[in-house]
Amino acid sequence: MKINKICCIGAGYVGGPTMAVIAKMNPDIQVTIVDINAERIAAWNDKDVSKLPIYEPGLAEIVEETRGRNLFFSTEIDKAINESEMIFISVNTPTKTYGKGKGMAADLKYVELCARNIAEVAKTDKIVVEKSTLPVRTAQAIKSILHNTGNGVNFSILSNPEFLAEGTAIQDLLNPDRVLIGGESEDAIESLANIYGSWVPQEQILRTNVWSSELSKLTANAFLAQRISSINAISELCEKTEANVGEVARAIGMDSRIGSKFLNASIGFGGSCFQKDILNLVYIARSYGLTAVADYWEQVIILNDHQKRRFSDNLISTLYNTVSGKKIAMLGWAFKKDTNDTRESAAIYVADHLLSEQANIAVYDPKVSEQRVQADLNYLQTRSEEENAKLVSCFEDPYEAVKDAHAIAIMTEWDEFKTYDWKKIHAVMKKPAFIFDGRNILDEDTMTKIGFEYSSIGK
């Protein structure tokens, strides 16, 4: 089946970039991205592409090229569903905050709402594609809703998980390691494979059954996160033994069976997905009675929480066991460089701990707004909004943020931090001037020569 019109429900970090690239590479296909969030859609439609709701290198250029040609952003969800032959569901699937599975299972209410919406509106046959990350066997539930509440039209369900990483989303989409399509109907699978086939070699488009596809996505994230927890565990051992985690990572990474990527020790992984997907994997394993499997994967999260806590504990103990009334400048708030996304960023948890010890926090991040920083802290409900507003200030100039600070904590590996005039920074800080490099991006010798008390991870 040749697809002429696609709709994507969910104009977020996945829906936006993914569909923009599909539209760029398939100028003959009309792609409409819809969302219930009118403000977000308005931002996607903003003439000034620097105001797009998502910051991703290369995205603005593609939106400029395709928007109004064959890429459209709209709040008219029913219309877009009705007109399209293929519908992607790319809505959020956060960890449940209530009821059964609270704090562990994925909340599938948004996905279910989409399925019900599609069933209600569709008057012609549709291919429904799961783009969101979903627990294995979710396609069964979507199928049941579509078939039991629909108007008698046929639905084919495909799983097509997304593997892009934020900050490199456009490159990841243009040159994917693989595209994964799981499904029952060969025709539906080939319709989707043809769309990707415009730019992805066919041998990189894997076809599997639906369940393998759903489970592969959770497994990929679990393996990636596990690597980070593994190197972070070793980083603590390095600090006790005078080994250097960078040297250890290099030495093991040259073993081709291990590989060199994803071995950067850090303050702990953040982002919207690793934690939620592993918790979900653990929940699924427990629900099948697989306690050893669940415990094994849960350890990845436990270690990650330990790493974040260890960082702030070390900062406090180094500052003579108190940060009360002291100014701590945080460079970076996003969960990694080249994104404005702060979901589950380690910075939030480190800041929260320091605030509980009565520190004053000054934040500078090149892409994150003050409103976002405050919202992230308020969401934790550790203290009142007024208190957070009083204790945390955000700056547009990094040199202002560090003025009179007792310590700097580097939370995100933004490239610009490496190019700062560190002598100038040292001059305006309180002495001794401490740097806690949570990303190991600065050169220890240079910093020490300037006069900083410099500490990093795993050295």
Active site residues: 273
- Of 83, 85, 132, nearest to 112 by C-alpha is 132
Q: CA 446, CA 167: separation in Å to the nearest integer?
A: 28
Nearer to ligand UGA, 159 or 221 (CB): 221
Integer CA distances (angstroms), 401 to 37, 348, 369, in order: 33, 17, 14
Q: How far is the CB of 270 from ligand UGA (least distance, A)?
A: 4
The residue from 20, 173, 263, 354 that contacts ligand UGA (CB under 6 A) is 263
345 binds ligand NAD (CB under 6 A): no
248-287 burial by CB neighbour count: b if 16+ within 10 A, else e? bbeebeeeeeeeeebbbbbbbbbbbbbbbbbbbbbbbbbe
Nearer to ligand NAD, 131 or 459 (CB): 131
Which three-class secondary structure state does DSSP give residue 392? strand
The residue from 26, 66, 84, 92 that contacts ligand NAD (CB under 6 A) is 92
Q: Pseudo-torsion of CA 126, 132, 134, 136, nearest 10°? A: 50
22 binds ligand UGA (CB under 6 A): no
Q: How far is the CB of 183 from ligand NAD (least distance, A)?
A: 18
Q: How far is the CB of 154 from ligand UGA (least distance, A)?
A: 30
**Partners of 406 in the beta sheet?**
none
The residue from 327, 336, 372, 406 that contacts ligand UGA (CB under 6 A) is 336
Pairing of strands 407-410, 434-437: parallel
Q: Which does 224 bind (CB under 5 to 8 A by kind): ligand NAD, ligand UGA, none?
A: ligand UGA
Q: CA 331, CA 412: separation in Å to the nearest integer?
A: 7
11 binds ligand NAD (CB under 6 A): yes
Q: 100: left (phi > 0), else alpha (psi -120 to 50), else beta?
A: beta
| Region from 89-97, 152-160, 243-251, 350-358 binding ligand NAD, contact rule CB under 6 A | 89-97
264 binds ligand UGA (CB under 6 A): yes
Contact status, residue 48 vs residue 196, Cβ threshold 8 Å = no
Total length of the chain? 459
Q: CA 24, CA 174: separation in Å to the nearest integer?
A: 10
**Residue whose token pair is 């993914």:** 18
Question: Where is 360: in which H helix or E strand?
Answer: strand 360-364
Footprint of ligand NAD on 93-152 (CB under 6 A): 93, 110, 113-114, 132-133
- Identity of residue 316: I
Q: CA 405, CA 389: separation in Å to the nearest integer?
A: 18
Gyration radius from the chain CA atoms: 23
13 binds ligand NAD (CB under 6 A): yes
Q: Write out the DSSP string of 257-306.
A: TT-STT----S---SSSHHHHHHHHHHHHHHTT-HHHHHHHHHHHHHHHH
Q: CA 297, CA 255: separation in Å to the nearest integer?
A: 24
262 binds ligand UGA (CB under 6 A): yes
Nearer to ligand UGA, 124 or 260 (CB): 260
332 binds ligand NAD (CB under 6 A): no
| Region from 36-44, 269-277, 313-321, 394-402 binding ligand UGA, contact rule CB under 6 A | 269-277
Q: How many residues bind ligand UGA (CB under 6 A)?
A: 20
133 binds ligand UGA (CB under 6 A): yes
Here the tokens at position 377 are: 């802290």
Footprint of ligand NAD on 256-275 (CB under 6 A): 272-273
Here the tokens at position 382 are: 């550790």
Here the tokens at position 165 are: 């990483």
258 binds ligand UGA (CB under 6 A): no
| Region from 98-106, 160-168, 311-319, 374-382 binding ligand UGA, contact rule CB under 6 A | 160-168
Footprint of ligand UGA on 182-201 (CB under 6 A): none
**Residue whose token pair is 């490199």:** 168
The residue from 29, 31, 104, 164 that contacts ligand UGA (CB under 6 A) is 164
Contact status, residue 441 vs residue 422, Cβ threshold 8 Å = no
306 binds ligand UGA (CB under 6 A): no
74 binds ligand NAD (CB under 6 A): no
Q: CA 183, CA 195: separation in Å to the nearest integer?
A: 16
Q: Which does 36 bind (CB under 5 to 8 A by kind): ligand NAD, ligand UGA, none?
A: ligand NAD
Nearer to ligand NAD, 37 or 287 (CB): 37
281 binds ligand UGA (CB under 6 A): no
The residue from 7, 14, 181, 281 that contacts ligand NAD (CB under 6 A) is 14
Nearer to ligand NAD, 160 or 456 (CB): 160
Nearer to ligand NAD, 277 or 437 (CB): 277
Q: Which residues bind ligand UGA (CB under 6 A)?
A: 133, 162-166, 221, 224, 228, 262-264, 266, 269-271, 273-274, 335-336
Q: Which residues bind ligand NAD (CB under 6 A)?
A: 9-15, 35-37, 40, 77, 90-93, 110, 113-114, 132-133, 162, 164, 166, 272-273
